[in-house]
Amino acid sequence: MGCQHSTADDEHYKFEDVERPDFSLQALLQNENLVRAAKALADCDVLLFACGAGWSKDSGLATFEEVRDNGLDYFALCQSTLLHEDPEKFYGFHGKQLESYRKTTPHVGFNILKSWKQDMIDRMKTTFQFQKLQADKNLTNFPFFILTSNVDAHFWTSGLFGRMELAEIHGNMEYWQCSSGVTAPTRGMCGASRKCEQRPWRFPESQDMKPYPRCSCGAYARPNILMFKDRIYDDTGENAKFVKWWDTVESYKNIKSDLKIVILEVGTGLIVPSIRIKTSQFAKDNNATLIRVNPKRSDLEDAAFQGAEGKFVTILDTSVNAMRKLDYLMRSGV
Ligand SMILES: [Zn+2]
């Protein structure tokens, strides 16, 4: 397959800077699952890319387990009620998280994914059919979509992808919302007499956490991310975007019955399985091939695919290594 690894108009595109992988092609070709996955990716008509904490970990960001190992109780820190119980602790934790996300450079897997998307664009002749079916201007009209539970916003802050082709199902740390619980009265959260109608807003690049950020109504501001026991998270429609794109894939399938649909799911664990639930369902509903990448063998397994192994490929590896190996195989014409 011919890959195009640079686009002149994309200044964020840094794939060329990366050293060539030190993998041996011969060794990669021995790995049956890797080869199956590379072939499926090189030939797909629809690609859903889904990722969890393991994907961001490869950029150097801490996972739940690592936060816990540092003596911090992630579950306690990510309770929405902590804001009112202990604002100092709340802003201390979330402020550090935001700072760390902004300082961290996304790994090369992002660039590789972007190059695969470009390859799809180059080889596809029938995307106009998909475009006709998807008329919402706020949603991509291309059969490529990203689903993530990560809140670092790296897909779009890197400039590599647009929010229209991405569902951040747990929100992101760049956007902040009112903590009064009446952020979105039109969506049924209100009922109180308070007057806040703020939608989530972008947290300023340079703002310090002190004095603590507030909404214009006077209440504390908080990240627009889904926390534990969170009853006031303002879901701005990320899940709905994915559902709408999924509906378009279904309609596309009705026109093009031999559609090859692939899901590449990387770095999703069993602690917060939100993404896995969606990818399994999407795979089943669309007779799609699910490629699951995880460095933990126990996280690869899926009882839902018993008897459907032909549609399920597992790769025991970290996200970024798997992306580099798959890309290497695809570029070698596998
Ligand atoms: Zn407010």
Cα(219) to ligand 1 centroid in Å equals: 5
Q: Residue 265: in which H helix or E strand, if any? A: strand 261-266
Q: Which of 51, 43, 38, 28 shows the shortest CA–CA distance to 318?
A: 51
Q: Do residues 249 and 261 lie in contact, with contact meaning Cβ atoms separated by under 8 Å?
A: yes
Q: Residue 109: in which H helix or E strand, if any? A: helix 108-123
Conformational region of residue 324, where left means phi above 0, alpha means psi within -120 to 50, and beta covers everything else: alpha
pTM for the model stands at: 0.88
Q: Which CATH architecture has domain 64-104+170-225?
A: 2-Layer Sandwich (3.30)
Cα(34) to ligand 1 centroid in Å equals: 50
Cα(178) to ligand 1 centroid in Å equals: 4
Cα(83) to ligand 1 centroid in Å equals: 14
Q: Do residues 159 and 12 lie in contact, with contact meaning Cβ atoms separated by under 8 Å?
A: yes
Cα(204) to ligand 1 centroid in Å equals: 17
Q: Which CATH architecture has domain 15-58+106-169+237-331?
A: 3-Layer(aba) Sandwich (3.40)
List where CATH 3.40.50.1220 sits in the chain: 15-58+106-169+237-331
Q: Which residues surround ligand 1, an ion (CB under 5 A)?
A: 178, 180, 196, 198, 215, 217, 219
Q: At what angle do helices 319-331 and 108-123 cross, to 10 degrees?
A: 40
What pLDDT was estimated at residue 197? 64
DSSP codes of every residue in 199-227: PPEEPPSS--SSSPPB-TTSSBEEEEE--
List where CATH 3.30.1600.10 sits in the chain: 64-104+170-225
Taking the C-alpha atoms of residue 197 and residue 144, their distance in angstroms, rounded to an integer, is 34
Cα(198) to ligand 1 centroid in Å equals: 6
Cα(216) to ligand 1 centroid in Å equals: 6
Per-residue pLDDT of the chain (334 residues; tens, 9 = 90+): 333 333 333 333 344 444 556 778 999 999 999 999 999 999 999 999 999 999 999 998 877 666 666 666 777 888 888 998 999 999 999 999 999 999 999 999 999 999 999 999 888 766 778 888 988 989 999 999 999 999 999 999 999 999 999 999 999 999 999 888 754 445 444 444 456 667 889 999 887 888 999 988 888 999 999 998 888 888 889 999 999 999 999 999 998 889 999 999 999 988 778 899 999 999 999 999 999 999 999 899 888 777 777 899 999 999 999 999 999 999 998 8
Cα(237) to ligand 1 centroid in Å equals: 19
